[in-house]
């Protein structure tokens, strides 16, 4: 079996037994998860129930407000399902087949068709599809960076294990599969990370909190209003016997539906969806639309070095001479090491910097992670002899002291780049030494050669941007702490001391959090520790973002307030991330921050419109319930005032290009204005209705229309103050909306549809007079609230404070 692999009968038997490599490796949330998150909400339940009641017992026109809930669901589902489809297609394109030996022949098959005991044929660049045991190897080296974060390849010998998700970095070999599907290492590591949870959005939480408060008060409010409607219409007995209770029910539901800030929740969804579409054009895939807000609130970002600050590739850095009179042509020797067919990833970096010219080695020893050196023999010319390239502590072990080399090596170690030595001996390699992989002769160091990871060209500017914004940065890497610290300094991260070795981290989150407050760079961090570091920061009150690309980052990416994956990263990590940078450019993040801040500022502005409406609707319902009045408005009559003083202008305000640094307490600041403004509006409406009732000369339709006119005037004034500073475009919008709303009262067809009747006599004067007093009161409230914010050291609503522009 070790030579021929499995035959078809053995494969079929394992497939029947279920020993295949099929596992849940979806790249994103399922459609059911997306639908559940957007459909099963308290808001949808309340609005949906009210809509059903009106459709069953009233006119269909009165149930149109239910479209708000439907639109809210559709926006969220369509946007997130679009992200799911795109991410699934990316995962499909990146899926590589597995190479196995069956019936003595090497063949390629889909990874989910690999079975237990299959013989994998591993070559450079192959990704290991399942956990396996090495059967044979020729200088086989495995890159486990996606699993551990450690960038150095690991040498693998016969009978050692190789894990799914790792890749062949050098050499070749075969391995027998031992764990498949959900039992493999990468599947076990990501199983917990794939558990579904919603992103913690302050905007959405605030809206849900309002709906929850209102919902708790709906039952007593409905009872109060229902009793008032029955009493105002002749009493319970008379209404039940006459069958007119349906009319009463419609008025009661109208009052209940009016207190729910439907438009606010819809506006949040629209703002998020439009922002997500805008970011998609910049190669940023938002898997859950509320995630846009979170990055604007983040105060701490954790980076996985590899794949975020660097692209994971090794690059030649420099040559440091340590020999007074090196043999001529030694640079061409470096070219020979780079051009060797068996060169590892580090040596191949020399190909662009050095040319081998006419040099032809007569024999060579390939690099091995166990030996940590490679060698070649030059038979003639000025470079004749044996040349060795490898780790200084191995290559020069047992030789005489070299003070110049030791001093330079100590300096380079402090700086952190990967450092190898080029050494020379006049003696050539013998066949025995080549076959035994043994060094010979007295080696003289010629030069130290340094290598560094390729830093992403956008990393330094992006780090500088976040530092300017006051965002704390942490590098969390599975690599060597000193190497991680070197990269961090190169991209502009300022910190004291060296990288912290995570093997010395305590397990207690409090103690871990204290270390995080004083250290910025961590190396040798395991996947579990990455998640614990994120949780320790969250426990200390930080809003944490985590970026990464490997399977080793999946748990931390999931635990963070917002997880960000690179487009070239592991499918498991992209599946749990809230956001994916499709082109892997770190510089996309400032644009996301700017977009998130714009959404937050604009939603805070428009929330004052919707919350003012909820406050006056609640107070009006209580007033008519206590006074035993008929509720003055039909559900359809709220449509023009809501749409033209709140809904449509809110949409324009939500799209405004304005941003400022995030400040917590969005709901508190909104209610500070909305509650007193809502009280004033309710008092004006009750005043108009009371005058109409006390005069005894105005029909109910005229009273309701007078109240609707007063409500429209106050609504426009609330819009005016919350839109400040008033621009030319906003003035034009305001006048347009006033004209359209006036048409709802004077155009006969529209007026009849809305069941309005123009008021007459003194009612008109009283309506405009009381409304004018209300506008003055709202202006005073606005100025006092703005002045109070200035005293508190907060940003006034009409201060035009912009964030530092994102770097390109």
Do β-strands 373-378 and 544-548 pair in parallel, antiparallel, or remain unpaired?
Answer: unpaired
**Cis check: omega of the bond before 725, within 30 degrees of 0:** yes
- Measured CA to CA, the distance from residue 291 to residue 564 in angstroms comes to 10
304 is a catalytic site residue? yes
Backbone angles phi, psi at 172, to 5 degrees: -155, 170
Tokens of 228: 């008032």
Encode 88-130 in three state secondary structure: HHHHHHHCCCEEEEECCEEEEECHHHCECCCEEEECCCCECCC
> Which residue has 């639309």 as its token pair?
289
The 8-class DSSP code of residue 560 comes to: S
CA atoms of 634 and 341, how far apart (whole Å)? 82
Q: Which of 131, 137, 152, 304 is catalytic?
A: 304
| Strand ranges of the sheet holding 521-523, from the earlier edge strand across to the other edge | 284-286, 579-581, 562-566, 544-548, 300-303, 472-476, 521-523, 500-501
Taking phi over 0 as left and psi of -120 to 50 as alpha, with beta for the rest, 514 belongs to: alpha
Q: How far apart are CA 73 and CA 48, in angstroms?
A: 12
Contact 126, 174 (CB under 8 A): no
Report d(CA 602, CA 756) in Å as an integer.
Answer: 33
What is the distance in angstroms between the CA of the first residue and the CA of the last residue of the chain? 57
Mutual angle of helices 509-518 and 527-539, in 10-degree steps:
80
Residue matched to tokens 């490796």? 25
Which 3 state secondary structure label does DSSP give 367?
A: strand
Burial of 492 (0-12, 13-18, 19+ CB in 10 A): middle
The CA distances from residue 383 to 240, 328, 332, in Å, are 110, 7, 9
CA 222, distance to chain mean position in Å, is 41
Catalytic residues: 304
């Amino acid at each position: 079996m070790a030579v021929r692999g499995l035959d078809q009968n053995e494969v079929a038997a394992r497939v029947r037994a279920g020993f295949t490599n099929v596992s849940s490796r979806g790249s994103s949330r399922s459609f059911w998860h997306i639908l559940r998150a957007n459909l099963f909400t308290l808001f949808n339940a309340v609005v949906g129930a009210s809509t059903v009641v009106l459709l069953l017992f009233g006119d269909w026109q009165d149930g149109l407000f239910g479209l708000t809930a439907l639109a809210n669901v559709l926006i969220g589902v369509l946007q997130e399902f679009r992200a799911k489809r795109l991410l699934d297609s990316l995962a499909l394109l990146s899926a590589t087949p597995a190479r196995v030996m069956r019936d003595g022949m090497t063949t390629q098959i889909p990874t989910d068709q690999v079975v237990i005991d299959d013989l994998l044929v591993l070559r450079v660049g192959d990704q290991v599809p399942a956990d396996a045991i090495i059967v044979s190897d020729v200088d086989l080296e495995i890159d486990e960076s996606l699993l551990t974060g450690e960038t150095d390849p690991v040498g693998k010998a016969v009978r050692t294990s190789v894990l799914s998700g790792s890749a062949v970095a050098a050499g070749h070999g075969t391995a027998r599969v031992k764990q498949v599907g959900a039992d493999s290492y990468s599947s076990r590591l990501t199983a917990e990370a794939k558990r579904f949870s919603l992103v913690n959005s302050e905007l959405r939480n605030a809206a849900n909190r309002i709906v929850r408060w209102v919902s708790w008060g709906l039952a007593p409010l409905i009872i109060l209003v229902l009793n008032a409607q029955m009493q105002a219409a002749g009493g319970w007995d008379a209404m039940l016997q006459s069958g007119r209770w349906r009319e009463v029910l419609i008025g009661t539901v109208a009052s209940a539906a009016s207190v729910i800030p439907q438009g606010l929740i819809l506006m949040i969804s629209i703002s998020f969806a439009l922002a997500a579409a805008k970011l998609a054009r910049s190669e940023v895939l938002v898997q859950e639309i509320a995630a846009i807000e979170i990055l604007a609130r983040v105060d701490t970002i954790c980076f996985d070095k590899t794949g975020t600050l660097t692209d994971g590739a090794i690059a030649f850095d420099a040559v440091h001479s340590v020999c007074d009179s090196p043999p001529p042509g030694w640079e061409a020797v470096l070219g020979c090491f780079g051009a060797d067919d068996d060169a590892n990833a580090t040596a191949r970096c020399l190909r662009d910097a050095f040319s081998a010219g006419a040099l032809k080695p007569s024999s060579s020893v390939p690099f091995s992670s166990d030996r940590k050196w490679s060698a070649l023999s030059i038979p003639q010319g000025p470079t004749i002899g044996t040349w060795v390239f490898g780790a200084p502590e191995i290559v020069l072990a047992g030789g005489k002291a070299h003070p110049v080399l030791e001093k330079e090596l100590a300096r380079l170690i402090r700086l952190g780049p990967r450092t190898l030595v080029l050494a020379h001996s006049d003696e050539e390699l013998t066949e025995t030494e080549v076959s035994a992989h043994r060094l010979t002769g007295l080696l003289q160091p010629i030069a130290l050669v340094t290598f560094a990871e390729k830093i992403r060209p956008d990393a330094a500017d992006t780090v500088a941007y976040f530092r300017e914004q006051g965002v704390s940065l942490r590098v969390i890497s599975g690599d060597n702490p000193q190497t991680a610290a070197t990269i961090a300094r190169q991209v502009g991260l300022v910190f004291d001391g060296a990288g912290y070795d995570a093997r010395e981290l305590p397990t207690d989150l409090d103690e871990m959090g204290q270390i995080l407050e004083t250290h910025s760079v961590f190396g040798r961090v395991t996947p579990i520790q990455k998640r614990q570091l994120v949780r320790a920061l969250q426990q200390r009150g930080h809003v944490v973002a985590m970026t990464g690309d490997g399977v080793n980052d999946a748990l931390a990416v999931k635990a963070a307030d917002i997880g960000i994956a690179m487009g070239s990263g592991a499918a498991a990590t992209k599946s749990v991330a809230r956001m994916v940078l499709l082109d892997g450019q770190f510089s996309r993040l400032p644009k996301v921050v700017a977009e998130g801040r714009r959404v937050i500022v604009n939603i805070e502005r428009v929330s004052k419109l919707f919350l003012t409406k909820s406050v006056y609707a609640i107070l009006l319902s209580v007033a008519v319930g206590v006074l035993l009045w008929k509720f003055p408005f039909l559900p359809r009559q709220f449509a023009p005032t809501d749409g033209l003083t709140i809904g449509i202008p809110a949409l324009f305000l939500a799209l405004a290009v304005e941003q400022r640094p995030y400040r917590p307490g969005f709901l508190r600041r909104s209610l500070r204005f909305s509650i007193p403004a809502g009280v004033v509006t309710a008092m004006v409406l009750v005043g108009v209705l009371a005058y109409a009732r006390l005069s005894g000369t105005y029909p109910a339709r005229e009273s309701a229309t007078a109240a609707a006119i007063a409500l429209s005037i106050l609504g426009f004034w609330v819009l005016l103050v919350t839109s400040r500073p008033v621009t030319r475009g906003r003035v034009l919008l305001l006048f347009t909306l006033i004209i359209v709303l006036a048409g709802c009262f004077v155009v006969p067809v529209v007026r009849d549809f809305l069941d309005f009747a123009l008021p007459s006599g003194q009612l008109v004067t009283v309506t405009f007079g009381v409304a004018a007093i209300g506008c003055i009161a709202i202006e005073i409230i606005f100025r006092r609230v703005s002045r109070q914010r200035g005293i508190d050291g907060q940003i006034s609503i009409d201060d035009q404070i912009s964030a530092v522009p994102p770097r390109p």
